[in-house]
Amino acid sequence: MPKLQIDTVHKEASDSPDSFVLIIGAMKSGTTSLFDLLKQHPEISACNRKEPDFYTTVDNPATKWDKYLDLWNWDPVRHKIAMEASTSYTKAPLIEGIPKKIALSPANNFKFIYMMRDPLKRISSQIRHAIYEGWGKSLDEEFSDDLIYFTQYAMQLDKYHELFPKEKFLLLTLEEFKSDPELVLNQVCDFLEISNDFIFRGSDEPRNTGDFYNIHSFLALLLKNSAFRYISDILIRGETRTLLRRWLSKFNRNNNSMGRWKLNDKEIENVLNLLRSDLKKLSQEYGIDVRKYWEIPEDLDL
């Protein structure tokens, strides 16, 4: 394995980061996998919480800036960029004003990575995740508006490009990431202006296969209970909670009692019609080949 030579000359040594990359979404599009791999890179300082949701929870970033900077164990000798990954940053119109808050930050050196996924698979994955976490419902009960909002990729990007130039963004798809992770990781390193000869461990390993969603009906009801969720959120940190749930799922992988999360033919038709104009803009203005990997019918007029 070639040894990575780290440039130790920085424009100014500082105990806190002044350059940031935000993996801004989309939800259920591989942001966790990308974050977990990138945090191996010695020139990247990964946030001690993958999703701090800082800009979602504060009104004026300047007043809480020190707390934000405390989220990183920054080493000015080797680190060049600080990374976080909060998918809540691209959940407009339910969560508005995130790009403006970022633009008003004391720091002004931001880059953004936006990952997208086949719209139909992303929506099904969100439903499955939401039912599992207890804040969503089966498709037999409702089809919520946020399923469409969070999949309007061009709309989410438009809100950022009102304030940040396009060269500050790297647009990726989960499908190309899974198809050739090394190529994508090289693209990310070049985009971040860090060494691209670092070899990432486990880049070809399958991630987030969804096995942990298959749990016993009793556990499913327990996880939906608001009191249990409130207590577990306080006592058990996010990553530990996820590991615990995956361990519990091993006791009954074949009993999926979560409810319907797969779209039927009629729902697929409705979703594609609702997303048609956004997909068209994503293709024409953002250069995403929406038919290369995604199941977009040829007869859908884009």
In a domain, 231, yes or no: yes
The residue among 249, 274, 292 that closes a domain is: 249
Closest by Cα among 186, 147, 178 to 33? 178
pLDDT for 94 = 97
pLDDT for 12 = 43
Asked if 236 and 165 sit in the same domain, the reply is no
In a domain, 26, yes or no: yes
The pLDDT-based confidence of 205 (bands split at 50, 70, 90) is confident
Over residues 87-98, the mean pLDDT reads 97
Asked if 232 and 181 sit in the same domain, the reply is no
pLDDT for 114 = 98
For residue 235, give both structure tokens: 């006592």
The residue among 206, 230, 249 that closes a domain is: 249
> Which of 108-117, 189-198, 199-208, 246-255 is predicted with the least confidence, judged by mean pLDDT?
246-255
Q: In whole angstroms, how far apart are CA 60 and each of 56, 65, 72, 162? A: 10, 9, 20, 19
> Which of 87-91, 189-193, 201-205, 269-273 is predicted with the least confidence, judged by mean pLDDT?
201-205
In a domain, 98, yes or no: yes
Burial of 238 (0-12, 13-18, 19+ CB in 10 A): exposed
pLDDT tens sequence across 129-168: 888 777 888 999 999 999 999 999 999 999 999 999 999 9
Asked if 185 and 225 sit in the same domain, the reply is no
In a domain, 69, yes or no: yes
In a domain, 129, yes or no: no
pLDDT for 42 = 97
In this structure, what are the phi and psi dihedrals at residue 218, rounded to the nearest 5 degrees? -65, -45
Asked if 187 and 72 sit in the same domain, the reply is yes
Asked if 186 and 237 sit in the same domain, the reply is no
The whole-chain average pLDDT of the chain stands at 86
Residue 80 is part of a domain; what is its CATH number? 3.40.50.300
In a domain, 287, yes or no: no
The pLDDT-based confidence of 3 (bands split at 50, 70, 90) is very low
Asked if 183 and 36 sit in the same domain, the reply is yes
| Identity of residue 101 | K
Asked if 160 and 76 sit in the same domain, the reply is yes
In a domain, 263, yes or no: no
Asked if 111 and 225 sit in the same domain, the reply is no
pLDDT for 70 = 95
pLDDT for 234 = 61
Asked if 168 and 57 sit in the same domain, the reply is yes
Over residues 58-74, the mean pLDDT reads 95
Asked if 185 and 53 sit in the same domain, the reply is yes
Distance CA 127, CA 117 (A): 14
Q: What is the DSSP letter of 113?
A: E
Asked if 28 and 85 sit in the same domain, the reply is yes
Domain tally, the chain: 2
User: In terms of residue numbers, what domain contains 224?
Assistant: 215-249
In a domain, 204, yes or no: no
Asked if 179 and 245 sit in the same domain, the reply is no
